[in-house]
C-alpha cells in the first residue's frame, strides 16, 4: 500500500531547516546554524484564512559564518484522523484486545482530538507516539481513548517524514488509557504521556453502575457487566519503543494521581515536574530513587508563598512531602481500596469542626468544598491515589487554575509552566478555605518561570535529594484582556498570547513555542517567544474553533530540525460569523470542545 503522510497535521516547520547546510558552491563545505529568529505573520482576515490551518511566517537563519537565509514557513496537512495507514484507520477507538470498536453499522469511532507527538529514534529507525485525547461516545457512553505507535520514514535529502504503519499501544494491564493529553520525550528516549481529568472516586462510589468510569471499562473490555475502578486512572504512562517497532507501556502509580497535562524530567534524570489541569489544582514534584527509573520515588506538593502580585504574581515555593512509594505497592492499593476506605466525610459543618475534619477545595471534587478526615493508616493511599485532596490536608496550595504544560530550559535551570487562565482560585477569595494565591485576574492567561536549584529542604526540614528543586515562581509572558470585544471578535489582545496550553522549548534556538487553546482570540495561534530578546512572533493560525496541539521541538534528528504541531476539534460552526458552512460531523465535534471551554473559564 502507498505510504501515507504523518499521522496528524504537521507544520512544515517539520522540515524547518538543516542543522548544517552547504551555503557555498563547494558541496563539501558546510556551516552550522548559529541562531534563528522568527518573523511573525498577521492575523487571518478572510473567511478562508480563518477556516484553515496555515502559516505565513518565516524564519531568519544565521549561520556560523555570518551568512543569513530567510526561510518561509508553510503549513501542510500531511495526515488526519480517519485516514488509512497500512490498512488501519488513524484515530480509531480500540478495545482491550486491540480490536477496533465499531457501531452497529460497522463504522469506527474516530477521534477529532489528536494531541501529543513524540518523535524518537530507536536503533536508527524512527517512530512517533501520538495521543487521541477525545472520542465520540457510543450507546453505552464514555469511549476508550487511544495512544498510537507509528513507524516513520525520513527522506534523507529533504527531511520529509512519512508514516508506514500505525498501531494502538496496549494498556490492558492498567484498564486502558484515560484522556491522554500532552506528552514529552524522556531523557532516556521513552514517551511520557498523561491522563487528564482523572475521575472523582468519591462521586463514582455513590453511583458506580452509571459512572463514566464504568462506561469506559465496559466499552474497553466489551463487557457490560464490568464496574470501573477510578483509581486506575490519573497516572503517568510511560511507553518504551523496542528495536523492531514493538512497544511496552506502564503506568507509574508512585507518581501520584492528578489531572496531568504532561510531565517534564530535569537533567538529573530523576526530578519530574507536572502540569495539573483544571480548577483548584496543585503543583507537584517527584524525585525518583534512581536515574531513568520512575517506578519508585518521593512525591511532593508545593506551597505558594506570595511575594508580589505584579505580572501574574511571584512566590517563594515551599515543598511538602506527601510520601514515598513504588508502583507495585500503589497499584495493589488502587485495585483494593475505594474512596470511603481512605477518607471520612461529612456535610455537617459543626460536627466537622468539633471532630477534626479539614475544609478543602480542590479539583478532585470539581472545585467543590469538602470536609475531609483521613482514616487511620491511610497516609500512603491518600498521598498517591488522592494526591490533591491529601496535599490540601497537609497545607499545599490547591488554587492554581488551568495549569497546563510544563517545559524545561536546561541551560538556564528553568521550568516553564502555563496557566491558560489566571482566574478562579488564583485571585483573591476570602471565602475559600485558604487564599495563598491572590493575583489580578487575567482571563487570557500566561506563562510562569520556575527557578531550579539545589540544597533545598522540605517543610519538615529534611533535605530534598535533588539539585533541581523549584524555589521561586514568577510570571514570564502574559496575555492581555481587552475591555470589550474588538471588531474581529477578540476579547484578548491579538498581538499577545491568549489561553496558552501546550508549550515546547528549543535549547538551540533559545525559543519557547506556545500553542493556544481558548476562545478569546478569533482563531487560536501558535507563537515563538525568544527568551533572550523577549520577541513574540505569531507563526501559525488554527482553524476557527480548533486549538493548536501536539507541539514538539526537535533540535536535531539526522541533520534536520523539526517542530511538530496539529489542531484539535477544528470547525466550530458558532465560533465565528462569515465562515463557510460546516458539515454535521464537524458540528458534532463542537460539543466536546465547548464543554472543555466551560471548564477552562471556570463557569
Which residue's C-alpha cell is 482530538? Answer: 113
**Bridge partners of 212?**
none
pLDDT digits (tens, 9 = 90+) for 315-353: 999 999 999 999 999 999 999 999 999 999 999 999 999
Mean pLDDT on 482-491: 94
Contact 448, 419 (CB under 8 A): yes
Question: CA 91, CA 135: separation in Å to the nearest integer?
Answer: 9
Q: Could you tell me the three cell numbers for 322?
A: 506527601
What whole-number distance in Å separates Cα of residue 162 and Cα of residue 585?
A: 27
The dihedral through the CA atoms of 466, 531, 439, 366 has a sign that is: negative
Q: Specify the range with the lowest mean pLDDT, choosing from 145-159, 443-457, 524-538.
A: 145-159
Distance CA 175, CA 239 (A): 15
Segment 124-134, tens digit of pLDDT: 999 999 999 98
Tell me what pLDDT residue 588 has. Answer: 27
Residue 7 has pLDDT above 80, yes or no: no
139 Cβ neighbours under 8 A, 6+ residues apart: none
How buried is 429 (Cβ within 10 angstroms: 0-12 exposed, 13-18 middle, 19+ buried)? middle
Rounded CA-CA distance 16/119 in Å is 15
Query: Where do the DSSP E strands lie in 256-292?
Result: 260-265, 271-276, 279-281, 284-290
Among 331, 454, 429, 345, CA closest to 389: 345
pLDDT at 575 > cutoff 60: no
Each residue's pLDDT tens digit, 292-301? 999 999 999 9
In sequence order, the 6+-apart residues with CB closer than 8 A to the CB of 310 are 475
E-assigned strand segments in 517-578: 525-530, 536-541, 547-557, 560-568
| Backbone phi, psi, residue 506, to 5° | -105, 115
Q: pLDDT tens digits, residue range 85-109?
A: 999 999 999 999 999 999 989 999 9
3-state SS, one letter per residue, for 124-178: CEEEEEEEECCCCCCCCCCCCCEEEEEEEEECCCCCCEEEEEEEECCCHHHCCCC
Rounded Cα–Cα distance for residues 289 and 282 (Å): 22
Give percent of the chain above pLDDT 90: 75
Q: What is the mean pLDDT of residues 450-474?
A: 98
Contact partners, residue 126, CB within 8 Å, separation at least 6: 119, 120, 151, 152, 153, 154, 161, 557
pLDDT at 14: 39
Span of 175-179, 284-288, 470-474, 543-547 with lowest mean pLDDT: 543-547
Which pLDDT score is estimated for 581? 34
- What mean pLDDT, rounded, does the chain reach? 88
Q: How far apart are the C-alpha atoms of 566 and 549, rounded to whole Å? A: 5
Report pLDDT digits (tens) over 397-410.
999 999 999 999 99
149 vs 247: CA distance, rounded Å: 8
Give residue 160's pLDDT band: very low, low, confident or very high (50, 70, 90): confident
Amino acid at each position: 500500500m502507498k505510504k501515507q503522510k504523518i499521522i496528524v497535521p504537521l507544520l512544515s516547520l517539520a522540515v524547518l531547516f538543516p542543522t548544517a547546510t552547504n551555503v557555498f558552491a563547494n558541496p563539501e563545505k558546510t556551516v552550522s546554524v548559529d541562531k534563528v529568529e522568527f518573523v511573525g505573520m498577521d492575523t487571518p482576515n478572510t473567511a478562508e484564512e480563518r477556516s484553515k490551518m496555515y502559516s505565513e511566517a518565516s524564519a531568519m537563519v544565521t549561520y556560523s559564518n555570518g551568512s543569513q537565509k530567510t526561510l518561509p514557513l508553510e503549513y501542510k496537512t500531511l495526515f488526519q484522523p480517519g485516514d488509512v495507514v497500512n490498512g488501519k484507520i488513524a484515530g480509531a477507538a480500540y478495545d482491550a484486545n486491540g480490536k477496533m470498536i465499531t457501531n452497529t453499522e460497522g463504522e469506527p469511532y474516530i477521534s477529532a482530538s489528536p494531541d501529543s507527538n513524540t518523535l524518537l529514534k530507536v536503533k536508527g529507525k524512527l517512530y512517533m507516539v501520538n495521543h487521541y485525547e477525545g472520542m465520540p461516545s457510543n450507546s453505552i457512553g464514555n469511549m476508550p481513548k487511544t495512544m498510537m505507535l507509528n513507524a516513520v520514514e525520513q527522506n534523507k535529502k529533504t527531511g520529509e517524514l512519512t508514516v508506514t504503519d500505525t498501531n494502538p499501544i496496549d494498556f490492558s494491564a492498567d484498564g486502558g488509557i484515560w484522556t491522554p493529553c500532552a506528552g514529552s520525550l524522556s531523557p532516556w528516549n521513552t514517551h511520557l504521556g498523561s491522563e487528564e481529568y482523572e475521575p472523582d472516586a468519591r462521586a463514582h462510589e455513590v453511583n458506580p453502575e452509571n459512572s463514566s468510569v464504568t462506561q469506559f471499562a465496559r466499552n474497553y473490555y466489551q463487557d457490560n457487566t464490568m464496574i470501573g475502578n477510578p483509581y486506575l486512572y490519573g497516572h503517568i504512562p510511560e511507553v518504551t519503543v523496542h528495536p523492531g517497532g514493538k512497544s511496552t507501556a506502564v503506568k507509574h502509580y508512585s507518581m501520584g494521581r492528578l489531572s496531568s497535562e504532561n510531565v517534564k524530567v530535569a537533567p538529573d534524570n530523576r526530578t519530574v515536574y507536572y502540569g495539573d489541569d483544571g480548577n483548584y489544582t496543585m503543583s507537584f514534584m517527584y524525585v525518583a530513587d534512581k536515574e531513568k527509573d520512575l517506578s519508585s520515588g518521593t512525591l511532593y506538593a508545593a506551597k505558594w508563598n506570595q511575594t508580589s502580585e505584579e505580572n501574574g504574581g511571584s512566590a517563594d515555593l515551599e515543598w511538602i512531602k506527601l510520601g514515598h512509594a513504588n508502583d507495585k505497592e500503589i497499584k495493589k492499593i488502587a485495585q483494593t481500596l475505594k474512596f470511603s476506605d481512605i477518607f471520612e466525610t461529612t456535610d455537617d459543618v459543626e460536627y466537622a469542626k468539633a471532630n477534626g475534619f479539614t475544609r478543602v477545595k480542590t479539583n478532585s471534587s470539581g472545585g467543590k468544598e469538602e470536609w475531609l478526615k483521613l482514616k487511620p493508616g491511610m497516609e500512603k493511599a491518600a498521598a498517591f491515589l488522592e494526591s490533591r485532596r491529601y496535599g490540601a490536608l497537609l497545607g499545599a496550595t490547591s488554587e492554581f487554575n488551568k495549569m497546563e504544560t510544563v517545559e524545561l530550559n536546561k541551560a538556564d535551570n528553568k521550568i516553564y509552566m502555563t496557566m491558560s487562565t489566571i482566574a478562579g482560585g488564583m485571585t483573591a477569595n476570602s471565602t475559600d478555605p485558604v487564599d495563598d494565591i491572590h493575583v489580578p485576574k487575567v482571563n487570557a492567561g500566561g506563562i510562569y518561570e520556575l527557578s531550579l536549584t539545589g540544597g533545598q529542604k522540605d517543610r519538615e526540614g529534611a533535605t530534598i535529594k535533588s539539585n533541581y528543586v523549584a524555589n521561586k515562581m514568577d510570571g514570564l509572558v502574559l496575555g492581555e484582556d481587552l475591555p470589550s470585544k474588538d471588531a474581529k471578535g477578540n476579547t484578548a489582545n491579538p498581538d499577545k498570547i491568549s489561553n496558552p496550553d501546550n508549550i515546547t522549548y528549543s535549547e538551540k534556538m533559545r525559543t519557547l513555542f506556545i500553542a493556544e487553546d481558548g476562545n478569546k482570540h478569533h482563531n487560536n495561534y501558535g507563537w515563538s517567544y525568544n527568551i533572550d530578546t523577549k520577541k513574540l512572533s505569531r507563526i501559525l493560525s488554527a482553524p476557527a474553533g480548533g486549538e493548536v496541539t501536539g507541539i514538539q521541538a526537535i533540535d536535531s534528528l539526522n541533520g534536520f530540525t523539526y517542530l511538530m504541531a496539529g489542531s484539535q476539534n477544528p470547525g466550530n460552526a458558532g465560533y465565528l460569523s462569515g465562515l463557510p458552512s460546516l458539515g454535521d460531523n464537524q458540528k458534532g465535534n463542537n460539543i466536546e470542545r465547548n464543554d472543555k471551554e466551560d471548564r477552562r473559564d471556570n463557569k
